[in-house]
Structure 1
Amino acid sequence: MTRYVSTRGSDTASLREAVLQGMSPQGGLYVPTQIPIVDWPPPEGPVAEWIAPSLFPSLESDVARRIARDACDFPFPLVQLDDSSFILELFHGPTHAFKDVGARFMANLVSLFATGSGGAITVLVATSGDTGGAVANAFFGRSGTRVVAVFPLMGVSETQRRQMTTLGDNVEAVAVEGTFDDCQRMVKACFSDPSLSARHGLTSANSINVARLLPQTVYYLEAARRFREPVHFVVPSGNLGNLCAGLIASEGGMPHAGFTAAFNRNHGVADLLQGGSFETRDSIRTLSNAMDVGDPSNLERIQWLYKSYDALRVDVGGDWVSDQDTLRAIANVHRRHRYVMDPHTAVAYAVAQRKHVGGAPVVILSTAHPAKFPKVVEDAICEPVSMPDTILSAHNRNELMSVIPPDLGRLKELLDGGPR
């Protein structure tokens, strides 16, 4: 049976323990002791159902495939912009963000493991934008679970906020008067409190949880299968879960022509990939808010995978662009190709235009629907953005949220049922 080991020492866990704990008792992130190996190329049929038993070998194969079928019941269209550039659209799930893939896998796994456990589970998640809405939607109405989504009050778009604050039922939204890094720091501190964790059955739904992270390999495999030659992936990057999933797919045998991690002004990891050192920094607010991360959690997993930064730089390049570059990319792509990008995709596109990756096809991961950022996009293209019905409905529902300072004590008070 596959075990999961902590990035910070000898702690190991079963899949159930890794999913429900979220982080190891030492504060590390769980990684599989054996990277899932793929027999390339995948057969015809849904890639998610093919790879799921390898991602989670401790599950019965039929159970793994059923979870994959339920989680990935939406397409990943590949849009060609020119001879060598392609957009992989990952926003056709229920909340119109790539996080739907991992969140829906995780919700199914948590429900499976919670059955018969005798206690309620609290999914505590820090979000810089799309994770909160995806997790809230995936767990909404599931008995025995409570979702507490913690987000920076001024650091998410209105649509992202409403996807967390308008559901009610078992979903609670907590707005922090600070940055995403404040939110992440507080949430990690809650997991480091054994009494609090036990009292509420805390688990994480960020990409620090293996149940969120590993399923994100699915769309890399799906994209790579569509080409006769290895492709170069350009990944909008913040907390680095998306990039980490691609690197795990690579370690498992997926052919590729390299990766480029694209950043906004929060570019500490880009500096590292260009040969410098990494230093934790205060996050800076940008138009691509889901990438406003100064201390990315999954860098620790990537370090574990590669052992040295020199080895990492062989596979992964990095660069960053400004908000002005982002707006210019949205406008230029719309003018040339009549294609509308959200700000995060635009960061990746702008970085891709700067990098020379040889003759390989370039696949840019598009992580969110442009309608989630209407003001930014409409200002760039001077046209209204079409709104999906699910986003419109979120704007028509009443909001309920708690607003707190970046204070750990206040978050713990809310978890314990204190004043909202």
Structure 2
Amino acid sequence: MKFYSTNNTDLRVGFKEAVFNSMPQDKGLYMPVEIPHLGDKFIHNLDQYTLPEIAYHVAQNLLGDDIPANDLKALIKDAINFYAPVVKLEDNVNVLELFHGPSLAFKDFGARFMSRIMSYFLEEGEKQLDVLVATSGDTGGAVALGFLGVPNTRVTILYPKGKVSDIQELQLTTNGQNIRALEIDGTFDDCQALVKLAFTDAELNAKFRLTSANSINIARLIPQTFYYFNAYAQLLKRGSSKVVFAVPSGNFGNIGAGLLAWKMGLPVERFIAATNANDTVPEFLKTGVYQPKPSVATLSNAMDVGNPSNWVRIADLFKEDPEALNALIAGYTYSDEDTLGAIQELFDSYQYVACPHTAIAWKALKAYQQEQQVGDIAGVFLSTAHPCKFPDVFTEQIAGEIVVPAQVKELEQKDSKAVSLGAGFDEFKRYLLQNS
């Protein structure tokens, strides 16, 4: 499979180059030249396949001969070794739980797949791979655990000071070994900008072999399609063949993967982009004007993104038919007050504890169902993180119902190894050069 840049459709690179370069020099993002349709026979019989089998079929169709079949199967078996159940709460209201991986967040799908892809492509004697990643919460933890101990790699994680939860910060900062954490005095957008600037800096690129583990990397996006197909497989087993997905949306990689799955033939009736106060995309869907803005801090911190990187990929998917984008995606935005209300209502209605991002997706799904009166269409909202990561947002009653996983209790015994930096690129660049 060949990939092009969203800023240069004539560019052609292989999968290995797209993974290691992460972002083209023209500052676009990589997209597959051809998006294969998986065929009705496969789609209509998804309920007969396991998650690893689905993942292999999707990846193989996208990547072609870039990775031999047996190697790809082994890689997927190692990376996707946890489950993602669709839990029914009521008729046509289901939650897709994506927090059963090692870092307790949906990012485990992308981070584990990508780390194994990079390790597979790294050849003995090659220059060390330096992975730069900006995180608003969960990406960093997933990437840290995905790459921890991977030979000939070093990961540098940038996160905004005071804007990630305590557990998220421990997941970022306590690893050591080949994982470094930088606490940036700024927002997630500042962290993301530093990473992007590093990729276009000639001196840094001459000295280091830089790549990214953010969702700007195509190897993060591909495995996120797996759980959409797998969710549909679970619905087919229950007799549902029509689905609407409500997706907590920050950098828009998650919903971007869903749209890629749709492009490959997954029959989704509608995608609902559920955001917090950072409403750049819902505003665009209403007004037709895409106007990035500075991000604002909210209780759903992983979605605190004012200029979503992956929106260019979504726009690219619909460049031939922009009107189809509005027909397929609905946008909803909610305040912190709305979020807290949704958390309480979810608990009161179903005895279900949801993280703030998940609660926003549920609220958007319910609003959409009431407005559209969609009838007998399965609604699925994505639960992107374990609620134990956000203890401060819950009432005492709800917090008491959270079962804290053992790995979190172990984290609390470890010390942070973070380095604090300002938001300026010169300081970041100097850190990289002095700590090579």
- Report the TM-score, using the length of structure 1 for normalisation: 0.97
What residue number does 2:286 align with? 274
2:326 equivalent in structure 1: 313
Match of 1:332 among 345, 363, 366: 345
Deviation at 1:384, TM superposition (A): 5.3
- Three-state SS of the structure 2 residue aligned to 1:27 is coil
Q: Indicate the SS of the match to 1:11.
A: strand
One-letter code of the match for 1:261?
A
Counterpart of 2:27 in structure 1 is: 27
Q: CA deviation at 1:275?
A: 3.4
Aligned to 1:45: 50
Aligned to 1:71: 79
Q: Deviations over 1:148-206 (max 9, x none)?
A: 00010111111111101000000000010100000011110000113312311100000
Aligned partner letter, 1:130: D
Shift of the alpha carbon at 1:56? Answer: 2.1
Output aligned runs, 1:17-416, within 5 Å: 17-39=17-39, 40-41=43-44, 42=46, 43-46=48-51, 47-57=54-64, 58-116=66-124, 118-227=126-235, 228-307=240-319, 309-356=322-369, 357=372, 358-359=374-375, 360-378=377-395, 381=398, 383=400, 385-416=402-433
Question: Take 2:317 and 2:95, find their aligned partners in 1: how far apart are those partners?
Answer: 27
The residue matched to 1:101 in structure 2 has which SS? helix
CA contact (8 A) 2:274 2:331 kept: yes
Structure 1's unaligned 5+ residue stretches are none
- Cα displacement (A) at 1:221: 0.2
Which stretch shifts more, 56-65 or 363-372? 56-65
How many residue pairs were aligned? 418
Q: How many angstroms apart in 1 are the aligned matches of 2:433 and 2:121?
A: 23
- Provide the C-alpha distance between the structure 2 equivalents of 1:365 and 1:148, rounded to a whole number of angstroms: 28
Distance 2:184 2:259 in 1: 32
* Contact map agreement 2:391 2:399 (CA 8 A) in 1: no
Cα distance in 2 for residues equivalent to 1:377 and 1:123: 34
Shift of 1:33: 0.5
RMSD: 1.5
Runs of 4+ in 1 over 4 A off after TM superposition: none
Contact 1:168/1:400 (8 A) holds in 2:
yes
* Bigger Cα displacement from structure 2, 13-22 vs 376-385: 376-385
Structure 1 residues 52 and 131: CA distance shift in structure 2, 3 A: same
Distance 1:290 1:413 in 2: 28
Shift of 1:78: 1.1
Partner deviation per Cα, 1:188-244 (whole Å, 9 max, x = no partner): 000011331231110000010000111100000001122231200000000000000
**Counterpart code for 1:70:** D
Q: Deviations over 1:80-125 (max 9, x none)?
A: 1111100000000000000000000000110011123511000000
**Normalising to structure 2: TM-score of the pair?**
0.93
Q: Deviations over 1:25-44 (max 9, x none)?
A: 11110001011322313342
Matched, 1:3 2:2: yes
How far residue 310 of structure 1 moved from its aligned partner, in angstroms, is 2.2
- Paired AA for residue 337 in structure 1: Y
Cα separation, 2, equivalents of 1:400 and 1:382: 28
Structure 1 position 143, deviation (Å): 1.0
Structure 2: tracts of 5 or more residues without a match: none
Residue 226 of structure 1 aligns to a residue in which SS? helix
Q: Is the 8 A contact 1:136 1:147 kept in 2?
A: yes
The one-letter code matched in structure 1 to 2:95 is I
CA deviations on 1:351-383 (whole Å, 9 max, x unpaired) are 112113412110000000000101113458363
Which amino acid letter does the alignment assign opposite residue 352 of structure 1?
L
**Distance (Å, rounded) in 2 between the aligned partners of 1:337 and 1:198:** 55
Once the two structures are superposed, residues 28-87 of structure 1 have per-residue CA deviations (whole angstroms, 9 ceiling, x without a partner) of 100010113223133423322332212322211111111111111000011111111000
Q: Structure 1 CA distance, aligned partners of 2:36 and 2:153?
A: 29
Q: What SS is found at the alignment partner of 1:218? A: helix
Q: 1:319 to 1:169 in 2, by over 3 A?
A: same
- Gap change, CA 1:380 and 1:191, over 3 Å in 2: farther
What is the identity percentage for the equivalent residue pairs of Structure 1 and Structure 2?
A: 41
Q: Is the CA contact 1:162–1:394 (under 8 Å) kept in the aligned structure 2? A: yes
- In structure 2, the CA distance between the partners of 1:325 and 1:388, relative to structure 1 (3 Å rule), is same
| CA–CA separation in structure 2 for the residues paired with 1:269 and 1:159 | 29
> Matches of 1:120 and 1:382 in 2, distance apart?
43
